[in-house]
Structure 1
Amino acid sequence: MSKLQRLTTAFLNNLKPNPTNAKSTDYEVNLSAMKDGGLPIGVRCLVGKSGNKRFLLRYISPVTGKKASIGLGKHPETDLSTLRKVSREYRQQILEGIDPKLERDTEKVDASMTLERFFNEVYLPLAKQKRSWKDDVARFNQHAKSIHHVPIHELTAAHIVKVQMEMQGKVSSTTGKPYALATINRVLALLKTINRQAYKLMDAPLVADKVSLLRVDNVRTGYLSEQQLQAFVSHALNYQDKQTGAFLALLFLTGARDKELRFRLWTDINWQERSIHIPHTKNGTSHTLFLSDFMVDILRSIPKVTNNPYIFAGHKHRKPISPARHALKVIKAKMGLPDIPGDKENITLHSARHTVGSLLASQGVPLHDIAKQLNHADLASSRRYSKLTVGRRREIGSKLSDMVSKIH
C-alpha cells in the first residue's frame, strides 16, 4: 500500500471484497503505513470475501515472546478516532510488558467465573490432594446451591451467611433432624477456604474473615481411661473374629484413623523397623505408625487369609473387614459402657484418637509429639486434648508407653 494513500472512512468503504476464489479467507491492508493514519505499528484491516472489514493489531507478546494479535473492532462500527485510541492503549501496554490479549481474556474469564466454576475448575483440582475432597464436593453441591451462580469477584460475607441461615432452617434428609452446628460449620469453613483461594489466585475480595464459625461445644470427648483401655484391649483380643478384634485393639493403641488402619496391607508392615506405613492419609500426607512389642505380637497373631492382601481380611474376596461398629457395640456392652448414638461421651471408632491423644496430653506429652502420633496437619487439632483432660489428670495414671506395657 502506498504511503501517500490517506487513511479515511471513504478509503475503507471502497476496499473491495477478497475474491471468492482466493486461497485465504481475508486479505490485509497495513493501516499503520498509510499517510496521516496516526496509528501505531501493527494495525491491519482484514477484508473478507463477503466484504466485511475488521481491525487487528499484530504484535510480539512481551509475555510469551511469540506472535500475537488482538481485535480492535469492525468497520464501520469502530470509527477511526476509536481505532486510534484503542490501538495506542494496547501498544502502550505492550511497551510496559503487558500482553493486552492475555489481559483482556483474563478479564473475560474473571467476569464469567462464578463460585461454581471456580470450585470445579480451580479449587477442586487443588483439593484432590487430600483424601477428604469428596466430602468437599458433597457439601458444596448439597448446601451451597443457592449461591453457585454468584460471580467469584462479587461474593460477599452475606452470601456465606445466607448458606448458614438456610442450613439452620432445614432438617437433614438423612436423620430427619436439624443440622448439627458442627455440620453447618464444616460448610462455612469450606466456603471460607474457597474464598481465600480466590483471593490468592484471582485477586477476588477477601470476605471470608468477616464470617465467624458458630460457637458450639461440639468436641467429641468420648474416650477411655487407662483402666478402661486395658479392659477394652483384653475384650477385643478375645473377640470371636480375630481380624476384627485385633483391628480394634490396634486402633485404640495407635490412635490411627479407622480407614487408614483397616485398609492396610501386609506389605505395609516393616517388621525390622516395627512399623506400619500409611501411604495416603486424610490430610494428603503419608504417615508411619511405630509399634511396641505388644502391638507387634498382636499383628503376628492375626491369621493370614489366602489371596487376601489385607492385614484385617474380611469375608469378601480380597476385601478388608467392614467397619467394626458391631464388634465395638458388643465390647461396650461387656464393659458396661452405654451406647447412646449422638451423645458426645459415647465411645465410637473415632474415640480411639481421642483416647490416645488425651492419655498422652494428661501426662504432659508436648502437643507437637501428639500431633505427630495422630498425624494432625497442625497443632490446632491437638490442643483439644489438653482441654479434654484438665479435670481427669489425676484419674489417668501413666503415660501411654507405661500403659501399653501394663497391658502386655
Structure 2
Amino acid sequence: MIEVRPNGGMTYALRYKDEYGRQRQLKIGNAADITFAEARKEAQRVKGRVSVGKNPAEERKVARTIPTLNELAARYLEFAKADKKSHDIDERYLRLHLLPRFGKLHLNQLRQEEIVEWLNGKVKAGYAQATVNRWQVILSHMMRLAKQWGVPGAETNPLTGIRQKDPNNRVERYLSPAETQRLKQAVDESPNRMLKYIVALLLLTGCRKRELLDAKWDEVDLDRKVWRIPTSKTGKPRHVPLSDDAIGVLRSIPRIADGTYIVPNPMTGKPFRSIFNSWNSARRAARVPDVRIHDLRHSAASNLVNSGHSLYVVAKVLGHAQTRTTERYAHLDNGVLLNAVNAAAQITGTTWAD
C-alpha cells in the first residue's frame, strides 16, 4: 500500500497479519527516497519472512533497542569494577582504542572481518601482539557477558572462533650481579623515595608489582617472616616467605599517613597507580633500559634456581600452581651449568682428553 498525506508526502507500507492473526503495518520507506519497484521488492522480502512465522514489525521494534558498543562498555565497566582486579586496564584500552573505532556501532553491526582486519592493522602499525590480543579478549568477553545478560544484538559473538595470534613475547631477561648493583644505586638516588623499597622487595620476594603496591602492613607477620597476599593472580590467597634481607627492608620503610599500606604514594598515602616514570628514569640511569619491572620477578626466580633450589620450591615461592609455569623463569647461570657438566664428567673416573 501507499499512504498519501495531505501535505503531499507519500509512504510505502505493508499490511500483514502476524502469527496471532492480528493485523500489522510496517513502513517500507518514503516515496521520495525509494522507487515503487524497490518498495515492491522489499515488501515481497518482508512477506517471505511473515510466511515462515516471523514478525517484521516486532523485529524492527527489538532492533531499536539494540545498544551501541559505547553503551555496552559503560555497563561492562560497572560490572568489571566489582568483579575484576584489572578493570582499570580494560577501561583504558576501551577508551583509547576499541571505542574510538567501534563505539558508535550497534552490537548487531559488529562484523568479524572488520574487527580482525583492524586488529591485524594495529600490529602492523607497531602495537605489540600481546596488547592487541588483550583488546580482542576484552571485546569478546564483553559480547559473551552481553549474551548472558540477554542484551539484544548480542546473540552472535563476532569473535567466536577467532584464535589469538602467538605474541612470541617470552623475552628472558635477568639482572646480573653488576646490573643489580647499578640498579640499587639508581633507585637509591631516585626522587621517588619509595622506589628503592619497591625494587628491593620485588627482587627479594619475587612477587608481582601490583601485589606489592597494594600490600598492607596487617598482611605481614614480621615475627613469623611471612607475607599473606589475600588475593593473588590465581584468585586465591598465598603466603610469601620473607628472607632476613626482606625483613630488613620492611623494617626500614618509613611509616606515612595512616600507615595502612606498605609502600604508598607519600603524597596521598594510597597505593601508586603507576611507578613507570620513576622506574624508567632509574633503569636508564642504571644503564639497563630494556629491563622491565616484571623482569625483577624473573631475576628472583633465577636467583632461587641458581642457589640450588628445585623448581617445586621456586614455584611455591612465586605462587605458581604448576612447575610448568615456573620453567619459564628458571634461568641457570652459565657458571652453574659449567659446574654441573664438570661434575657429571667426573662420575665415571675416566679421562677422555689426551
Q: Which of 276, 291, 296 does residue 352 from structure 1 map onto?
A: 296
Q: Which residue in 1 is equivalent to 2:21?
A: 82
Between the aligned partners of 1:162 and 1:243, the Cα distance in structure 2 is: 44
**Contact 2:204 2:245 (8 Å CA) reproduced:** no
TM-score (norm. length: structure 2): 0.59
**Contact 1:143 1:167 (8 Å CA) reproduced:** no
Amino acid at match of 2:132: I
* Match status 1:120 vs 2:74: yes
Shift of 1:258: 2.6
Describe the SS at the equivalent of 2:240: strand
* Match status 1:252 vs 2:203: yes
Q: Which residue in 1 is equivalent to 2:334?
A: 395
Between the aligned partners of 1:282 and 1:289, the Cα distance in structure 2 is: 14
Between the aligned partners of 2:266 and 2:155, the Cα distance in structure 1 is: 52
* Pair member with larger Rg: 1
Describe the SS at the equivalent of 1:179: coil
Q: Which residue in 1 is equivalent to 2:131?
A: 183
**Contact 2:225 2:242 (8 Å CA) reproduced:** yes
Describe the SS at the equivalent of 2:227: strand
Q: Which residue in 2 is equivalent to 1:365?
A: 311
Q: Deviations over 1:19-76 (max 9, x none)?
A: xxxxxxxxxxxxxxxxxxxxxxxxxxxxxxxxxxxxxxxxxxxxxxxxxxxxxxxxx9
Q: Which residue in 2 is equivalent to 1:302?
A: 253
**Contact 1:281 1:287 (8 Å CA) reproduced:** yes
Q: 1:234 to 1:310 in 2, by over 3 A?
A: same
Shift of 1:257: 2.7
Q: Report matched runs for 1:37-56 at 5 Å.
A: none
Shift of 1:82: 1.8
Q: How many residues align?
A: 280
Q: Which residue in 1 is equivalent to 2:119?
A: 164
Q: Which of 301, 323, 335 does residue 275 from structure 2 map onto?
A: 323
Shift of 1:199: 5.2
Q: Which residue in 1 is equivalent to 2:34?
A: none
Between the aligned partners of 1:394 and 1:210, the Cα distance in structure 2 is: 42
Q: Which residue in 1 is equivalent to 2:103?
A: 148
Shift of 1:223: 2.1
Q: Which of 327, 340, 344 does residue 386 from structure 1 map onto?
A: 327
Q: Deviations over 1:65-123 (max 9, x none)?
A: xxxxxxxxxxx9989x8249xxxxxxxxxxxxxxxxxxx89x93896144443333257
* Match status 1:276 vs 2:235: no
**Structure 2: segments with no counterpart, 5+ residues:** 1-14, 24-57, 338-354
Between the aligned partners of 1:141 and 1:325, the Cα distance in structure 2 is: 22
Amino acid at match of 1:131: K
Amino acid at match of 1:108: V
Between the aligned partners of 1:326 and 1:149, the Cα distance in structure 2 is: 37
Amino acid at match of 1:140: L
Q: Report matched runs for 1:222-237 at 5 Å.
A: 222-225=173-176, 227=177, 231=181
Q: 1:211 to 1:386 in 2, by over 3 A?
A: same
Shift of 1:160: 2.3
